[in-house]
Structure 1
Amino acid sequence: MSSLAQDECVGRRVIIVGGSIAGLMCGLLLKHVGCNVEILEQDSDDRKSHMAGIAMGPNVMDLLRDHDRLKKPFTYGIDGLQSLGTGNKPRIVATGKREITSWDALYYRLRSNFDGWVSAYYPQPPKADIMDGTTAYHSNTRVLDVGRPDASDAHLTVTSVNRHTNAVSERNADLVIGADGADSMIRAKYQPAVQRRYAGYVVWRGTVQEEHLSDPTLKAVAHSAINHTMDQHHIIAYVIPGKDGSLQAGERLVNFCWYTNETPESLDDILRDRIDGHRHRNTVPAGRVKESAWEARLKHARAVPLPPAMLEIVEKIQEPFIQVISDFFSPKGAFENGQVLLMGDALTLVRPHAGLSSAKSAFHSRAIEDFVRGKTSIQEWETCVLRYSYLHWTQGVYWGTFYQGSMSMAIISGAHYWTYSAWYRFTSWMEAMLTSGGKSSSVSDECTT
């Protein structure tokens, strides 16, 4: 099947593997074109707070404008990025309005829109439209395999197991979408050679409620994100919604991220669990970071010293957590004659510096919607998403190398990114002129940095 014609959308069976931000975005769009969508998610319905911020770029805002049926505000607006020097003296790095939210607030908003999930964030879900397809969200469900029982079968079969009961189920689908993150089971089946690559550094993260911070620090983060750079270190902090998505002053959180280079030896030490001593792979959750590792980070912060606002924030973090920075780019995103697609972090894992993870998921979701509605062929879809993903993968490598690596390597990475960016824009513009006389959907408004 090269594409699904628009008049065939209604009633199409779509299974999305992975029910996080990417899977929910895609599921919401396909629900609204009449597909019957099931999401299979291995985690529970109620997620423990990720204590992480999300930059809401144009791709995300456009998607929500068209598909979000909730009216409650859930973002905090900033005017740009400022770099803090000694004594909190700010220097403007970039200007431009950007909406910021938390992972939790966006997740529960998408859940509310997708399947009417009731949460403290959104206790009153929007009503379904008569033209919507059916939806189901199966939590605690781990996918074991995707395949075609018989070579002549038009549909695919997804085999899964309930993590609580161990009951094995089989579901048929016309389209299977792998939105199961950087450690994707779907990608592992079809592209086993594509693996995470350690970037050479980690990020120490945490949040502090506004009411616990001084007025000078609150003033520093009031209208912009703030950063501070050192040799092979950099820090960024910004305001995100608080408990249950609160945007009330004093209840909001300041999100803090400190990137540090780590050798394999030091990485092995800081990834050790403070309680049972086992080595985590990619994330040390809040409450599990070794006290000695965090104390060493605080000691370094005081010795530098960090700008007063940064120092106050880091000293007041109660439950830090650590994420290993890694990346990869998959050279292929469509399998089984276009009936299995990869999207989001399952397709390409970009470094977080430009804040484009949610933008990437929104772009991929729009592209899948176009394919399902018959606007593009599978070849056009794959070319579109791979070009876009590669662009932002190279951008992440460039920014990471600039902040954490040597200047010579940053120049090389920058040349690669800017050359590809110019080619990407020119090619997209030419294709738009030749096919529709307008702007191509493969041109991102977020690749100008």
Structure 2
Amino acid sequence: MAHVPKSVIIVGGSLAGLFHGLYLKRHGSDVVILEQDPRAIRSSHQAGIAFGPAVEEILAKYDDTAMQSCTPSVATRFAYRKRPNFKDLNIIRHLTSWGLLYRILRANFDGLASDAVPNPPPPRKGDGKAEYRSGKKVTKLEYENGLVTVGFVGEDGTEETLKADLVIGADGVHSTVRTLLQAPTTKEYSGYVAWRGTILEKDLPPETAAYFANRTCINLLKKTYIVCYAIPPDTGTFHPSTRLLNWVWYSTPSSPPSILTLNSILTSTQSTTTTTPHKTTVPTGLVRPAIWQAQKLSTTTGLPLAAPPFAQLLAATPTRSVFVTKVTDALCDRAVFWEGKVVLVGDALATFRPHFAVATEQAARAPLDALMGHSWMTVTQASHRASSSQSVTQGGWSTAGVLTEVPP
């Protein structure tokens, strides 16, 4: 590294924040992560993620838990409409759960003990201090004399401030840091939603579970598609009796009078009227059963068109295990502010549509370079924007039918 900051504040304690925090701690920086979520361990919604060489390298260099972090898929299997074995490609992915990777990073960063890592590793010689503070909402940023002051409020309303040589905004698509900086940002609804869910592998018929085993499986439907792969639970066990099948179904909402309009999809069991939908996500357990049933039975995009293993998978997933997210693009014009003292990373800088599983990989890529060099910041911003634009383009092709309308 060209320069190691003595003190760092990271706003946002998800994976992007933890990748940067662990990297800086290992290089001797004193790091404080401020996370708005009040829970000591963040909820994962049992979400699955895929990663590549950047995450592998971060874990190889800085992870001391000796935990198995992922399971490789030996191939990518494509189903086309009702044809379950349309094509297999030799595309290998490393698959895991958000919750397990989060727990491994927390164990290394601030020594969090969890069901996955009950005995966190001790700090290394030369590590900086590390602190993860939950329930802290950032309200103010100021820059003076080479230091950034961060103001934040706790759950009890107590206001505090901290000063640091460097502040990293890793607080996601709705970034408070980005808002406080008044950074020019383009936001746009993609035109579709992502339905997500999990089911225990053992709860499916053996032949259905075997179809999805050790593969990333994709069912191409009519201007929509479903992705499924096996992941460990947050406890980090990889045995088939405890593994989950994690699936994502990308779908375009309908127009009235269909029940599957965007407003209707985002209206949960807790909403009082159809005029009060959630802004982006209906969490697990709050999806209305009638909406999920209508989605599954849609004659234009639903399970009547799906390959049998996928139809069985989604039919067996209970409504309580399903959540749905409006996919939104956000792209900031700048990554670096205040003479390099504030940096935006991850989804705070540019969102990645989830189709091709690049968000986690991109979040881990930046810390592998010299974090403090302005040249790195310029390259990172350009690379981040290019990768984000690519994910937007590929996602648009998929839901418009360019990638799903293959020859029969």
TM-score, normalization: structure 2?
Answer: 0.91
Checking the alignment, whether the CA contact within 8 Å between 2:150 and 2:163 is kept in structure 1 is yes
What's 1:201 paired with?
192
CA distance in 2, matches of 1:120, 1:344: 27
Shift of 1:222: 1.1
Shift of 1:49: 3.1
Query: What is the SS of the residue equivalent to 1:275?
Result: coil
Q: Which runs of 5+ in 2 are unaligned?
A: none
**Residue 14 (structure 1) aligned with residue 12 (structure 2):** no
**Residue 161 (structure 1) aligned with residue 165 (structure 2):** no
What's 1:284 paired with?
282
CA distance in 1, matches of 2:137, 2:253: 33
Write the mapping of 1:31-42 to structure 2, written as runs, cut at 5 A. 31-42=25-36
- Quick check: 119-128 or 265-274, which moved more? 265-274
What's 2:69 paired with?
74
Taking only aligned residues, the RMSD between alpha carbons, in angstroms, comes to 2.0
What's 1:308 paired with?
308
What's 2:135 paired with?
140
Shift of 1:192: 4.3
Which deviations, in whole Å up to 9, do the C-alpha atoms of 1:391-430 show, x marking residues without a partner?
Answer: 211221221122111549x9xxxxxxxxxxxxxxxxxxxx
CA distance in 1, matches of 2:302, 2:400: 23
Q: What is the letter of the counterpart of residue 52 of structure 1?
A: A
What's 2:294 paired with?
296
**Is the alpha carbon distance of 1:143 and 1:74 closer, same or farther for their aligned partners in structure 2, counting shifts above 3 Å?**
same
**Is the alpha carbon distance of 1:248 and 1:393 closer, same or farther for their aligned partners in structure 2, counting shifts above 3 Å?**
same
Query: What is the SS of the residue equivalent to 1:341?
Result: strand
Q: 1:239 aligns with which of 230, 234, 237?
A: 230
What's 1:330 paired with?
332
**Residue 103 (structure 1) aligned with residue 98 (structure 2):** yes
What's 2:24 paired with?
30
Write the mapping of 1:228-267 to structure 2, written as runs, cut at 5 A. 228-262=219-253, 266-267=261-262
The alignment covers a number of residue pairs equal to: 392
Checking the alignment, whether the CA contact within 8 Å between 2:202 and 2:209 is kept in structure 1 is no
What's 2:264 paired with?
269
Shift of 1:302: 6.7
CA distance in 2, matches of 1:303, 1:234: 11
Shift of 1:173: 0.5
Shift of 1:305: 3.5
Q: What is the letter of the counterpart of residue 143 of structure 1?
A: V
Which deviations, in whole Å up to 9, do the C-alpha atoms of 1:200-221 show, x marking residues without a partner?
Answer: 0001110000110112211211
CA distance in 2, matches of 1:345, 1:392: 12
Shift of 1:314: 0.5
Write the mapping of 1:37-116 to structure 2, written as runs, cut at 5 A. 37-43=31-37, 44-85=39-80, 89-116=84-111
Shift of 1:134: 0.3
Shift of 1:93: 4.8
Q: Which runs of 5+ in 1 are unaligned?
A: 411-449
Query: What is the SS of the residue equivalent to 1:147?
Result: strand
Query: What is the SS of the residue equivalent to 2:185?
Result: coil
Query: What is the SS of the residue equivalent to 2:367?
Result: helix
Shift of 1:224: 1.0
Shift of 1:263: 5.0
CA distance in 1, matches of 2:397, 2:271: 36
Q: What is the letter of the counterpart of residue 170 of structure 2?
A: A
**Is the alpha carbon distance of 1:314 and 1:406 closer, same or farther for their aligned partners in structure 2, counting shifts above 3 Å?**
closer
CA distance in 1, matches of 2:234, 2:64: 22
Write the mapping of 1:211-230 to structure 2, written as runs, cut at 5 A. 211-230=202-221
CA distance in 1, matches of 2:379, 2:234: 38
CA distance in 1, matches of 2:365, 2:302: 42
Which deviations, in whole Å up to 9, do the C-alpha atoms of 1:120-148 show, x marking residues without a partner?
Answer: 11101011012000011110000001112
Shift of 1:364: 2.2
Percentage of pairs with the same residue: 31
- Runs of 4 or more above 6 Å deviation: none
Query: What is the SS of the residue equivalent to 1:250?
Result: coil
CA distance in 2, matches of 1:345, 1:137: 20
Checking the alignment, whether the CA contact within 8 Å between 1:77 and 1:223 is kept in structure 2 is yes
- Quick check: 126-135 or 272-281, which moved more? 272-281
What's 1:432 paired with?
none
CA distance in 1, matches of 2:97, 2:224: 24
Checking the alignment, whether the CA contact within 8 Å between 1:25 and 1:365 is kept in structure 2 is yes
Task: Looking at secondary structure, tell me which structure has more helix per residue.
Answer: 1
Checking the alignment, whether the CA contact within 8 Å between 1:26 and 1:366 is kept in structure 2 is no
Shift of 1:303: 5.7
Shift of 1:169: 0.3
Checking the alignment, whether the CA contact within 8 Å between 1:232 and 1:405 is kept in structure 2 is yes
**Is the alpha carbon distance of 1:357 and 1:60 closer, same or farther for their aligned partners in structure 2, counting shifts above 3 Å?**
same
What's 1:419 paired with?
none
Shift of 1:329: 2.1
